[in-house]
Every structure is written in structure tokens, then in C-alpha cells.
Chain A
Amino acid sequence: MTDLASDDPRRAMHDMGGVMKFMCEPVDVEAHALTAFDREVDALRQILGMKKVMGVDELRRGIEAIPEADYLRLGYYQRWIRSITDNLLRKGVVSEAELRAALEQAK
């Protein structure tokens, strides 16, 4: 199954359809229960969308901007929270100083 078209070097790493390096990877068909963290990130994303603070397309752009090694290493909702943080900082909804203070306080 060698086919250069399916592995065009110009493709973005999240654009995974037909990518050869995953062809021999079996699918993990087991159920994995979501954690409280997963569900909270999901809920937070929805609230930010409903309040027009940040849309789902912005979430996706932020996920797609994660470097490939991190993208493949991070769990699904770990990518989400990273993108949400990136977006809220970029948009000035949250300042870096506020976030650092909150991180410090939580230690």
C-alpha cells in the first residue's frame, strides 16, 4: 500500500485520514470511562461557546497548533484545555498574570 498521495508532506499533522504510519496500528475498541477532569473540560468548553467567549472552531485551531509530538502524547481533553488556555490568553479574556497567580495559589 505505498501511495505518496496519502502522505503528502504538506498535510497538517491532525489531518489523519489515510496516513500510512497509522495503518498497522490496531484500534483500541475497549470502553474508557471519562474522568471528572474530562467532563469538566468538556463542560467549560460548552459554556465558553454558549457565552460567545470562544467558539468550537477556535478550539480546533488551537488544538491543531499543538506541536505533533505533544499532540500525540497528550490525552484528548489535555489537548482541549491547552487550546482553551491558549485562546483565552490570546483573546485577553484571561491575562497571563492572572493565570500565573492562580497557578501559584493552587500549589
Chain B
Amino acid sequence: MSDILETGGEQLLAALRHVLEGKGIATTDEIQERMAVTDAANPGQGARMVAKAWVDPAYRRAMLQDGAAAAEAIGIPMRGMPPLGVLENTPETHHLVVCTLCSCYPRAVLGYPPFWFKSAAYRARAVRDPRGLLAEFGTLIAPDRKLRVIDSTADYRWMVLPMRPAGTEGSSESELASLVREGDMIGVTVPAMRALQGEKR
């Protein structure tokens, strides 16, 4: 059996799809539909949750209590998805999410995990050298601020609720959402005023 597993991935996929289609286990239509559903999940979803939490204290409390329910409350499909936990950054504590064993990622609200999240360097260094790792993303955490690294190993998925950037007091909820990037909700970066200032993301 082992030599067949050495076959190139593209050929294995084509052959498996052919056999599974014949057995009615995974048809082309089903795969197309799944791809469309999966592609629809993206960091804009998580960003909407973050922006709402910044302007609506009741929503923020609900989100910290049960991320999945809070996602569903604003129309993000969570059926069949793992529970979602939300960790809030504060002036005292910054959170960083990693999965050292594989690549567990809050896909329902952020979409596919990015390349760096799946890399050996990220997985190894996030727990051992988190501040050095963050510096590579351009993020500096003050030495007296606590860093909490979440190793996402099991049945929950975790996202970070970043702090609202200074200078956004007059911003609308949708403007706020446009400030929040993928990495801000994993904790490798922090949102800033850049988008509103017209700076390139």
C-alpha cells in the first residue's frame, strides 16, 4: 500500500475523485458547493464581530461568553463548526493564538488559515519565542504587558478581540470593521487607523 501513497497529490486527488464520484460519496457538484461555502468564510466576518463588540457593550459581553452564538447572531453560519472562544486584549494582556500540533484555526469567522499560521516556524516559535515572533510581524509588546499564548490543541477554536485603536471615536461600525485584519484576530498584529488614513493595508 505504501508505494501508492508516494503518488503525487494532484494524481491522487484526481483518482480519488473519480472513484468517490462513482460510489456517490463525493460528487463534483458536492465538491463545488463545499468550495463555494468555504470560500465565503473570510476575515471580514470576524471583523464585523470585532467592530460590533467595540460599539455595543452587550454584544461584547455575549461574544466573550460564547463566540459561536455571537457569530450566529450577526448571520455568520456556525452549523457543524466547533465552539468558538473569544479572548479579549486589554492594556494589561495581549493574546496570541497558535496550533503547535497542526493548524486549528477559527475558520468559520476568519476563513482558510494563512500560510504562516501553518508553518513549522510559527508553530514552534509562538510558544517558545512569542515576542521575537511578533516582532517579525512588526508587533512590539511592552515588556511589562502580559502575553498569553493560546495553543489551540483540541475542540475549541479561538479568536482574539483586539483593542479599539485610539482616534476612532467618531468612526462608524463599518469603518471600524474595515480596520480589522486577519492577523489582528489571531494576535500577530494589532489594528490601527491606517485604513481610514488611506494607508495601504
| Chain A directly contacts chain B within the complex, with at least one CB pair under 8 Å | yes
Q: Which of chain A's residues have a CB closer than 8 A to the CB of B14?
A: 102, 106
Question: Among B49-57, B89-97, B126-134, B191-199, which stretch is in contact with chain A?
Answer: B126-134
CA distance in complex: A78, B13 (Å): 9
> How far is A88 from B126 in the complex, measured between Cα atoms in Å?
34
**A-contacting residues, B81-133, CB 8 Å:** 98, 100-103, 112, 114-116, 118-129, 133
Number of B residues near A (Cβ < 8 Å) is: 52
- Which residues on the B side are within 8 Å of A37 (C-beta)? 9-10, 13
Pick from A22, A34, A47: contact of B31, CB under 8 Å? A47
Tell me the residues in window 41-98 of chain A with beta carbons closer than 8 Å to chain B beta carbons: 41-44, 46-48, 50-51, 53, 60, 63, 72, 74-78, 81-82, 84-86, 88-89, 93-94, 96, 98
User: Which secondary structure characterizes the binding site on chain B?
Assistant: helix
Q: Identify which of B34-42, B66-74, B157-165, B167-175 touches chain A.
A: B34-42
Q: Tell me the bound Cα distance from A66 to B125 in angstroms.
A: 22
B1 on interface, CB distance cutoff 8 Å: yes
The verdict on A8 contacting chain B, using a C-beta distance below 8 Å, is: no
Top 8 A-B pairs ranked by shortest CB distance? A17-B100, A22-B124, A43-B34, A102-B15, A18-B128, A32-B115, A25-B121, A78-B9
